Amino acid sequence: MIGPILVGLFILLMVIGIPIAFVIGIVALLGIMNVEYIPNVTVPVKMFNGLDSFVLLAVPLFILAANLMNSGKISQKLIDFSLSIVGHIRGGLAHANILVSMIFAGVSGASQADTAGVGKILIPNMKNQGYDKENAVGITAASSTIGVIIPPSIPMIIYAGLTNVSVGALFLVGIIPGILVGLGMMIIVYILAMKRGYPTYQKASWSNFMKQFLETIPALFTPVILIGGIITGIFTATEAAAFASLYTVAVAMFYYKTLKLKDIPQILIDTLLLSSLSLFALAAANALGELMSYYKLASWAQEFFTSNVDNKWIFMLIVIGFFLFVGTFMDAIPAMILFIPVILPIAMSFDISPVLLGIVTIMTLAVGLVTPPYGLCLLLAAKIGDLSVERSFGAVMPYIAVIVVVLLLVAFFPDLAVYLPKQLNPNMF
């Protein structure tokens, strides 16, 4: 009887606007209080244990690296470099928006930081250049989702910690889907630009391109060091995140001279505020996971799928549909902590590799970043662009379609994502 009541309470608390992290914690506490054989102290113990992980240190450190890039004006330099590459194409500023998100993704792994940093610069510029508000907001929000697909990715690190999958393998598998999503979004931008007559920039001369390239090399070199170091085993994901933060401080403070020592305290405060949201939700989800284990949800789900689903592709479609729904009201990190332990054994019984399940799950939950009511990237971009969430969501729909198409291609043709990584490092697969 208590199970349906807890589900109803979960829905009610979300409907009235309680933050999802607190909803998860409240339901976990009340649920465990009503279980005779589980002491109440289990909730704080499980929350603490859920955060007692070396891997999770990467979360605030990657967010710190992103905030340092934004505060150190490195984002602006990446935008200028991107414009020198694609600015001459019809709708050049919108193409640059997508390209800079792809580059930014290779450093931070935090989509929200991408939306905030790049959006504050590009959304006003796009409006001034004649782009309508809807498209400026839609492109910025949608392209930010690439941040969790192209490595390094915070959700990938969390998934690897949950499943004991190689972080390097997940990083490699995310590269091609992330590039395909970016290229697909550029096609949509080009079609809209031709229909609406969006402006272009003069094609950059070779000397100007080289000038921009040489000026941006220190920033562009960061993802090469990070991903290369993790894949080759030189350092772990957490050590890579720490290196990224230190490297960004050095580049912004001593090379570009755009970051001052007095800026650091505020950057640290912003980092703590943003990372605490994800980490508290993660801790609460770990406590709720204990309650789900008591009710044997994993066994129930496995029995259901064994009895009713006999095709792994149907199972994969169910997983995609489920996470598309969950992503509308829950962040990727608590969603994975709650449901991956339930879904993974079933996926493996269908001979679906944990790495494939990981990239499919992460891409699916990335859609949740731009779908209301959660849609954090959508909300940030809408606020920057002074646009209603309803109109912003309408503008982002074509780009969501691109993510879903690439997602389905990866799910049903895994070699699209896995073939090249297998050639580069077969020992990881």
Residue 349 has pLDDT above 70, yes or no: yes
Q: Residue 149 has what pLDDT?
A: 92
Tell me how far apart the alpha carbons of residues 157 and 151 are, in angstroms, rounded to a whole number.
10
Query: Which of 150, 118, 148 is CA-nearest to residue 136?
Result: 118
Residue 425 has pLDDT above 80, yes or no: no
Please state, rounded to an integer, the average pLDDT across all residues of the chain: 86
CB 189 within 8 A of CB 98: yes
Residue 77 has pLDDT above 80, yes or no: yes
Local structure of residue 131 (DSSP, 8 states)? -
- CA 146 to mean position of chain CA atoms: 7
Query: Which range, 51-65, 196-210, 214-228, 337-351, has the best average confidence (pLDDT)?
Result: 337-351
**CB-based contacts of 168: which residues, under 8 Å, 6+ apart?**
230, 231, 233, 425, 428
Q: Residue 56 has what pLDDT?
A: 80
> What confidence category does residue 1 fall into, taking pLDDT thresholds of 50, 70 and 90?
low
Query: How many residues are listed for the chain in this entry?
Result: 429
242-253 residues labelled b (16+ CB within 10 A) or e (exposed): bbbbebbbebbb
Q: Residue 189 has what pLDDT?
A: 93
- CA 2 to mean position of chain CA atoms: 34
> What confidence category does residue 318 fall into, taking pLDDT thresholds of 50, 70 and 90?
very high
Give the Cβ contact number of residue 40 at 10 Å.
11
How large a percentage of the chain has pLDDT more than 90? Answer: 22
Query: Which range, 66-80, 145-159, 278-292, 302-316, has the best average confidence (pLDDT)?
Result: 145-159
| pLDDT one-digit tens code per residue, 121-141 | 888 888 888 888 888 999 999
> Cα angle at 165 between 163 and 171, to 5 degrees?
125
Residue 199 has pLDDT above 70, yes or no: yes
Q: 241 versus 318: which is more confidently predicted?
A: 318
DSSP character string of 260-303: -GGGHHHHHHHHHHHHHHHHHHHHHHHHHHHHHHHTTHHHHHHH
Q: Residue 410 has what pLDDT?
A: 95
Q: Residue 428 has what pLDDT?
A: 61
Burial group, residue 330, by CB count within 10 angstroms (0-12, 13-18, 19+): buried
Q: Residue 408 has what pLDDT?
A: 96
Q: Residue 420 has what pLDDT?
A: 76
Q: 140 versus 374: which is more confidently predicted?
A: 140
Q: Residue 427 has what pLDDT?
A: 67
> What confidence category does residue 352 fall into, taking pLDDT thresholds of 50, 70 and 90?
very high
